Amino acid sequence: MPMNPLPPLTIKGKRLPLPIIQGGMGVGVSLHPLASAVAVAGGLGILSSACLDRLVSKRTGKKTTTYDAVYEEVSLAKAAGGFAGINIMVALQRDYEDSVRGAIDAGADAIISGAGLPLSLPQIQKPGDTALIPIVSSARALDLICRRWERQGQRPDAVVLEGPLAGGHLGFRMDQVDLPENTLEALLPSVKESAIAHGDIPLIVAGGIYTHEDIKRFLAMGADGVQMGTRFLATEESSATALYKQAVLDATEDDILVADDPGSPCGLPFRVLKKSPMYLSALARSRKPKCDKGYVLLKDEKGNYTRCLAKESNFHHFCICNGLLSSAGYNPEKEEPIYTVGSTAWRVDRIMSVKALMAELAGV
C-alpha cells in the first residue's frame, strides 16, 4: 500500500487512478511508447501532435497525412489500456483541424491545447467522449475561453494552468516570466476561482513540479491534478534521442534559459538548454535559413500558409521545426538539434522507467 496515496482524478466521467498527466512534449518525444506506458501506470498519457505526419511516415515507410498519423498514434497509445490523449498546439495552424479530427475519431481520451488560445476548438468537430482541455496562464484567459466555448455549446472538461517554469513555449511575455505575481502558486487561486465559477472545472497545474511532495503541495492548494513534462522526458520510454537525454543528465541550473532573441518563430518565449547545437548556431547568427518543413507557417495576404520568421531570417529566430525533429532523431545527420526542457531539468540524475517514475511520484 502507498504510504502517501494520491487521490484519483476524474475528467469527463473518466477516473484516472493517479492525478498525474504526462506533458505532451514535441517534437517526437511524446509518442505512443511513452503515452501508453503512462496510461498503463494509472496516469493520463499524452502524445504531441507536432510533426506527427512526418514521424509516422518515417516509421512506417509510407507517406501519411496528419489526420491518419494522429489517428494511428492515438490508437497505439490506447491499445494497452488506460487513458491517453494528445496535445495539439494552436500555433500549428496548418495542421490544427486535421489533428483534432484524427484524435476525436481515434477515441482520444483528451485533447489538450495551448500555445495560443484554442477559442475555436469545440466547433471543429463534436468531441464525443474526448475531453477538451485548454492550457491557460491566467484567470482572464480561462474566462475568455469559457465565454467563447459556451456560445459553441461547450465548456472545458478540465483546464491546465501552466506557469512560467514549464519547458517549451511559455504563455507569458519575456518581461513577465520572472514576475512574482506570475508564479504558479500566485496564479492558482484566481484560476481556481474562475474554474469553480464556470462549473467547477477540474484544475490541473503545470510548470516546475518535480516530486511527490510537490504534487501533494499543489493538491493541498486546490489543484485537482498536475501535468509534468521534464520528468517523463528522462524516461526509457521517451522517444528523445540518447544525445538529448544525455544533455539533460549533464545540464546544470545555469544551462537552462528562456530564449527570446534568438527565439522561436512562434513569438513566444521558449525554454531550452543553452548548449543545444542549433541554439548556439542561432546565437552566433551563423545559420542560414533552411525552413523546409512548414509546421509553424502563418497565412499570407492571399490566405496561403507561406509565412515564417525563421524562413525569412535566422538572425533573430531558430528553425524550430528542423531543430526539434533532429532532437527526436528524425534528421540528425542534416540538422542541428535544439533541446527544450523545463526549469527542473538540472535535477535529473538518471534515466528511469515510467513504471518506476510513476511509483515514485505516487509516493509508493
What is the gyration radius of the CA atoms in the chain, in angstroms?
Answer: 19
Whether residue 294 has pLDDT greater than 80: no
Please, which pLDDT band fits residue 344 given cuts at 50, 70 and 90?
A: very high
pLDDT in tens, 221-235: 999 999 999 999 999
Range 265-292 average pLDDT: 86
| Mean pLDDT of the 293-301 span | 78
Q: Specify the CATH number of the domain 9-240+348-362.
A: 3.20.20.70
Task: Look at residue 65 in the predicted model and tell me its pLDDT.
Answer: 97
> To the nearest whole number, what is the mean pLDDT of the chain?
92
2 pLDDT more than 50: no
| Residue 319 pLDDT grade (very low, low, confident, very high; cuts 50, 70, 90) | confident
Give how far the C-alpha of residue 14 lies from the chain's centroid of Cα atoms, to the nearest Å.
Answer: 21
pLDDT of residue 4: 55
Q: How many CB atoms lie within 10 A of CB 152?
A: 13
Confidence (pTM): 0.93
Residue 331: its pLDDT value, please? 78
What is the reported pLDDT for 301?
84
pLDDT by residue (tens digit) across 119-177? 999 999 999 999 999 999 999 999 999 999 999 999 999 999 999 999 888 888 888 88
Domain edges within the chain: 9-240+348-362, 242-345
